[in-house]
Amino acid sequence: MTDATPAGVDLLSYLSHLELRFDSSASLVASDAHDDPATLEWGCRTVLPLWEPDDEEAAADNARLLAPGISLAQTSRGECQELTILTMSGLTLDLWRIGSIYASLDSRDADYEHFAPLFDKPGHLGLHSDLEECLVSGDQVVIINRVRIAPAWRGLGGVGRLLIGRLLRWVVGQAAIVATHPYPIDIPVGERDDTAREAQEKAAVQRTWQSLGFAPFREDLWVMQPYRHDHDDAVERLEAAFAQHL
């Protein structure tokens, strides 16, 4: 990801050039909880393609974007290289078909254990009874595990939130709920004993998700309920704010 804004570059002028990338995988059959076919692992990225320049002006644009301190992701897309702007990863659970929700979560990254309270007191389809009404919009649970945005693209008035919203349009599908565990993951592990700093940065991350229509559920879990349209309304406001760049 980019580490700092290159001198003289207006990043918002590149907003309309960004592209979305998606990868996902699920097993065909299950041999254990980790490869339950009803659990989809997915990852997505927002990237800025840098095609082989065909004139001096294009070459100059690339040179400005590839100033010292900017990392470049090599790709196999023809002559294209690309800068990764934002990454997001997670799981989608099919409540109709999944064998054991807890086993599927427990068999993966330890971060997914945070999401067990979504299912602690099973109601219909194993979803927590307090969330049952969300089943009107679908029968899947989308879990967002990690989101990272390149530092150069932070503080630009909500670009990160806009990109998350655009990615979620493709990820949400038939989701009853979308859940995340807001935490400032960029704090080094050795510095997390600074409770004041952790609380301050956690509150900032939570405000970001709140502005996207997410609300606290329990035990630091935040959920977005698609049928309420709070998220869609928030993304539409962001699109209006960035309309001149899109």
Cβ pair 226, 175 in contact under 8 A: yes
The three-class DSSP label of residue 208 is: helix
Secondary structure letter of residue 66 according to DSSP: T
Q: Which two tokens stand for residue 32?
A: 């254990």
pTM: 0.86
**pLDDT tens-place values along the chain, 246 residues long:** 545 555 446 889 889 989 999 999 988 887 776 678 899 999 999 998 886 656 566 666 666 665 444 444 444 455 567 888 999 999 999 999 998 898 888 888 888 989 999 997 877 889 999 999 999 999 999 999 999 998 888 889 999 999 999 999 999 988 999 999 998 877 777 777 778 888 888 899 999 999 999 999 988 999 999 999 999 999 999 999 999 998
Cβ pair 111, 179 in contact under 8 A: no
Residue 182: what residue type?
A: P
